[in-house]
């Protein structure tokens, strides 16, 4: 039973141990992300969608660590996770595992990473297949998209400033607030690549899961504290 499609950003600075003395700067974002996790805690399974250099999947038996980002903070993707924490786990998997460990330790997390350049049709096809699985029985399941907006919103952003990025991020925010899957599908892959909106494929997979608009759409955080668009919220079927 599909209960919700949630979305959160992927900055490693969500993890307090990675922030040092600047931890207070991300308190609002961290609270918003953990509140999303609490709302999803009733789900037995989270199906996570993120993006990366190449497509891959991560099973609920995996463990990871944020060691590669500056602190050895281990995470687990499920109650049966075992083995040494993998520092090469995709960032979306690490963030989802961190959320799970803090507020939903009984939940199992399965992660689908799409290559950044995955075409929209493939994203929609994956979303439709995931929706079939999410709806398959009475077990409560949730979708969690871990993705960012453009990384070129200010001069100090990771990708420097691109004057087109503000319009792109505003369009993304409007689509998420309105619960508009068609607007997500309208994100142009070429433009998104140029303004470093690396999460485009994950956003378009969300559109594939919601072939019809959600019954409700809520955005609880939308800002760009480091020149990167961060959005957190939830669509409910």
CB of 52 within 8 A of CB of 116?
yes
The fold of the 2-236 domain, in CATH, is Protocatechuate 4,5-dioxygenase; Chain B (3.40.830)
pLDDT of 19? 83
**Cα–Cα distances in Å, from 81 out to 75, 145, 174?**
9, 21, 38
| DSSP secondary structure letters along 53-102 | SS-EEE-TT-EEE-GGGTS--EEESSTT--SS-BTTS-HHHHHHHHHHHH
pLDDT of 72? 98
Could you state, in order of their start, the residue ranges of all structural domains in the chain? Answer: 2-236
Per-residue pLDDT tens listing for the chain (237 residues): 999 999 999 999 999 999 875 777 899 999 999 999 999 999 999 999 999 999 999 999 999 999 999 999 999 999 999 999 999 999 999 999 999 999 999 999 999 999 999 999 999 999 999 999 999 989 999 999 999 999 999 999 999 999 999 999 999 999 999 999 999 999 999 999 999 999 999 999 999 999 999 999 999 999 999 999 999 999 999
pLDDT of 21? 58
What the block records as the tokens of 96 is 């989802």
pLDDT of 24? 78
- Non-local CB neighbours of 1 within 8 Å, separated by 6+ positions: 134, 135, 137, 138, 139, 140, 141
pLDDT of 25? 81
- Model-wide pTM > 0.95: yes
> For residue 177, is it left (φ>0), alpha (ψ between -120 and 50) or beta?
alpha
> What is the sign of the dihedral through the CA atoms of 59, 6, 180 and 51?
negative
H helices present in the chain, as ranges: 27-40, 91-103, 120-134, 165-178, 181-185, 189-194, 200-209
């Amino acid at each position: 039973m599909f209960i919700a499609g949630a979305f959160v950003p992927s900055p490693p600075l969500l993890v307090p141990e990675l922030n040092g003395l600047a931890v207070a700067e991300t308190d609002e974002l961290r609270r918003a992300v953990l509140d999303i996790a609490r709302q999803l805690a009733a789900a037995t399974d989270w199906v996570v969608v993120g993006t990366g250099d190449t497509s891959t999947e991560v099973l609920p038996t995996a463990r990871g660590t944020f060691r590669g980002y500056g602190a050895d903070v281990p995470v687990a993707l499920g109650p049966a996770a075992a083995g040494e924490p993998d520092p090469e786990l995709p960032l979306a998997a690490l963030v989802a595992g961190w959320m799970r460990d803090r507020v939903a330790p009984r939940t199992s997390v399965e992660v689908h990473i799409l290559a950044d350049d995955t075409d929209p049709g493939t994203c929609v096809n994956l979303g439709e297949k995931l929706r079939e699985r999410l709806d398959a029985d009475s077990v409560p399941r949730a979708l969690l998209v871990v993705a960012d907006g453009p990384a070129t919103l200010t001069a100090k952003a990771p990708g420097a400033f691109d004057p087109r990025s503000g319009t792109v991020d505003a369009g993304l925010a409007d689509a998420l607030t309105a619960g508009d899957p068609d607007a997500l599908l309208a994100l142009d892959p070429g433009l998104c690549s140029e303004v470093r909106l690396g999460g485009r494929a994950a956003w378009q997979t969300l559109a594939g899961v919601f072939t019809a608009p959600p019954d409700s759409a809520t955005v609880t955080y939308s800002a760009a504290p480091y020149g990167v668009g961060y959005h957190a919220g939830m669509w409910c079927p």
